[in-house]
């Protein structure tokens, strides 16, 4: 399990959880909502956190053009700073991307070559998924795949090789059916695996095995 930071405080909490529980690892980063707070001092502190055991990625970072809690300029600068940090440390990136597909892909192509990239809660279409596959990116699949109106995501899962997928929760959000609208928990991961297995026409055991191997490959666990 990888628990993810969205700012300095939550990154520290993620690391504290990882240090306490066997099998839990941490990612540290600034979500685009919090991009306005990523100044030089916080960036230095973020880098210090990466020196701790069990930190396996930078994230979640990226762009959010839907809510815009931070200005686009702040988001772009924070995203690039964290990409540079990941390059410096040779750590994978966990990407938040909401209604910013074009800019996200462009920046990754220009500045994140050679890094392992995981799109958290992938929200693009099949065309974007194909481009991600060509670049060797991984796609995170969460509870949305179980929703009745998730036709676009189901098409993505049908198209993308299982070797490029990982399972996730986005807890406490996006709980899978039949718990939609309630707090999400990691224990619901089997429901996501079950739906992926159904779409792929393979066993849930195979989904569990391969997506776990993918996670270990991304994070070097």
Residue 220 lies in a domain: yes
Q: What is the pLDDT along the chain (221 residues), one digit of tens a residue?
A: 999 999 999 999 999 999 999 999 999 999 999 999 999 999 999 999 999 999 999 999 999 999 999 999 999 999 999 999 999 999 999 999 999 999 999 999 999 999 999 999 999 999 999 999 999 999 999 999 999 999 999 999 999 999 999 999 999 999 999 999 999 999 999 999 999 999 999 999 999 999 999 999 999 99
State residue 185's pLDDT score: 96
Residue 39 lies in a domain: no
Question: Torsion angle, CA of 189/194/199/204, rounded to 10 degrees?
Answer: 110
73 inside domain: no
* Total structural domains within the chain: 1
CATH value at residue 153: 3.20.20.140
Residue 168 is encoded by which pair of tokens? 């996730």
- Residue 147 counted as domain residue: yes
- The rounded distance, in Å, linking the Cα atoms of 5 and 13 is 8
In this structure, is residue 113 part of a structural domain?
Answer: no
In this structure, are residues 14 and 27 in contact, taking their beta carbons and an 8 Å threshold? yes
Count of beta carbons in the 10 Å neighbourhood of residue 51 = 8
Rounded to whole angstroms, how far apart are CA atoms 50 and 55?
A: 6
Residue 131 domain-assigned (yes or no): yes
Q: What is the pLDDT of residue 163?
A: 97
Per the domain annotation, does 81 fall within a domain? Answer: no
Beta bridge partners of 26: 3, 55
Domain of 135, in residue numbers: 121-221
Q: What is the CA radius of gyration of the chain?
A: 16
């Amino acid at each position: 399990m990888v628990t993810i930071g969205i700012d300095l405080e939550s990154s520290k909490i993620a690391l504290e959880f990882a240090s306490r529980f066997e099998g839990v690892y941490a990612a540290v980063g600034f979500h685009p909502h919090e991009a306005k707070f990523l100044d030089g001092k916080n960036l230095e502190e973020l880098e210090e956190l990466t020196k701790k055991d069990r930190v396996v990625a930078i994230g979640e970072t990226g762009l959010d053009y839907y809510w815009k809690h931070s200005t686009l300029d702040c988001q772009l600068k924070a995203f690039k700073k964290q990409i540079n940090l990941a390059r410096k440390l040779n750590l994978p990136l966990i990407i938040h991307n909401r209604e910013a597909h074009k800019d996200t892909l462009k920046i990754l192509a220009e500045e994140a070559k050679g890094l392992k990239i995981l799109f958290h809660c992938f929200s693009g279409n099949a065309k974007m998924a194909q481009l991600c596959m060509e670049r060797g990116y991984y796609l995170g699949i969460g509870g949305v795949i179980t929703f009745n109106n998730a036709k676009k995501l189901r098409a993505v899962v049908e198209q993308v090789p299982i070797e490029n997928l990982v399972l996730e929760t986005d807890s406490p959000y996006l709980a899978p059916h039949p718990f939609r609208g309630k707090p999400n928990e990691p224990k619901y991961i089997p429901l996501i695996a079950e739906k992926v297995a159904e779409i792929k026409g393979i066993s849930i055991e195979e989904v569990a095995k391969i997506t776990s191997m993918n996670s270990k490959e991304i994070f070097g666990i």
